[in-house]
Amino acid sequence: MDSPAAAVIPAVYGASDRPPRGDYSRGGSVQADYTCPQDWASYTAADHDTYRRLYERQAAQLPGLACDAFINALPSLGVKDRIPHFDEINERLHKATGWEIVAVPGLIPELPFFTLLANRKFPVTDWIRKPEEFNYIVEPDVFHDLFGHVPMLFDPTFADYVQRYGAGGIKAHELGAGEKLSRLYWYTVEFGLIRQPDGLRAYGAGILSSVGELQHAVLSNEPRRLPLDLLRAMRTRYKIDTYQSNYFVIEDFAQLFDLTAPDFTPIYEALAVEADIEPGVLLPGETGKA
């Protein structure tokens, strides 16, 4: 691992008057790649209780709404009544798919994020929301990152997709297309839906870790649902502070892996001359009922 960075710069996404949340100094323990030790000793009894209550509430509403891969892998997170040690999860995760989770102090910039994914390391914020943020938090915390993301990394095909996404991200960053590519992450890894034989289900972490969005994404007639198309998804802007007004649906995880096999350079060239699409807007010929 690299030597500790003297000053690791926190990431800010979008316009915000607030300083980014999280302690990026940690007494010099944050590395140049933004990883740090999980500060498990600093969790209070209230922190563990927040995790336990979030886990319990969210697990109860998964049947019929979360995809099978997620439900089957959730027990691999281990303990439910306190914040787990990342090392314990890593023993199981590494055996399953060769991935590991690494602690980070909060959101990290684009290139280090892509680089970690390309190396099969998933960054997990190690702090948890305050009790008064139980129902809603703007930034990802340890509950969103662990509960929402990590079970899917136990699925070999999905795990390969995320690694391929990271490798593509490094290239996109060099081409100045990182923001466009990040929309693909948003509409798959964060807010993706999959059509199982028994119906529509969620696989995106932003849905799976949200108390209200699971029902909205899978069952509500309100949002538009479109078949996943790379260009369409990467043209579509997104909102970070409301439920999504459109979702993209896949047929299986191999589709994600296959879609991201080609070189994206021609797609970025096409995107450069195509206008962005506002969330929730349908183009001619689209029904929004995928």
Structure tokens given for 84: 């787990």
Residue with CB nearest Fe ion?
Answer: 205
| Residue 3 is among the residues annotated as catalytic for this protein | no
CA dist 211 and 134 (Å) reads 10
Q: Which of 139, 173, 182, 190 is catalytic?
A: 190
CA dist 142 and 150 (Å) reads 11
| Residue 190 is among the residues annotated as catalytic for this protein | yes
Q: Which is nearer to Fe ion, 139 or 160 (CB)?
A: 139
CA dist 184 and 228 (Å) reads 10
- We find the least distance from the C-beta atom of residue 223 to Fe ion, in angstroms, to be 19
Q: Give the SS3 label for residue 264.
A: coil
- We find the least distance from the C-beta atom of residue 284 to Fe ion, in angstroms, to be 32
Task: Evaluate whether 100 touches 12 at the Cβ level (below 8 Å).
Answer: no
- We find the least distance from the C-beta atom of residue 192 to Fe ion, in angstroms, to be 12
Q: Which is nearer to Fe ion, 84 or 123 (CB)?
A: 123
223 closest CA partner among 287, 175, 155, 161: 287
- We find the least distance from the C-beta atom of residue 148 to Fe ion, in angstroms, to be 6
Q: Which residues bind Fe ion (CB under 5 A)?
A: 140, 205
Q: Which of 182, 209, 210, 213 is catalytic?
A: 209
Q: Which of 100, 149, 182, 213 is catalytic?
A: 149
CA 189, 192, 196: angle at the middle one, nearest 5? 125
Q: Which is nearer to Fe ion, 205 or 230 (CB)?
A: 205
Q: Which is nearer to Fe ion, 194 or 267 (CB)?
A: 194
CA dist 171 and 16 (Å) reads 28
| Residue 144 is among the residues annotated as catalytic for this protein | yes
| Residue 149 is among the residues annotated as catalytic for this protein | yes
The catalytic residue positions are 144, 149, 190, 209
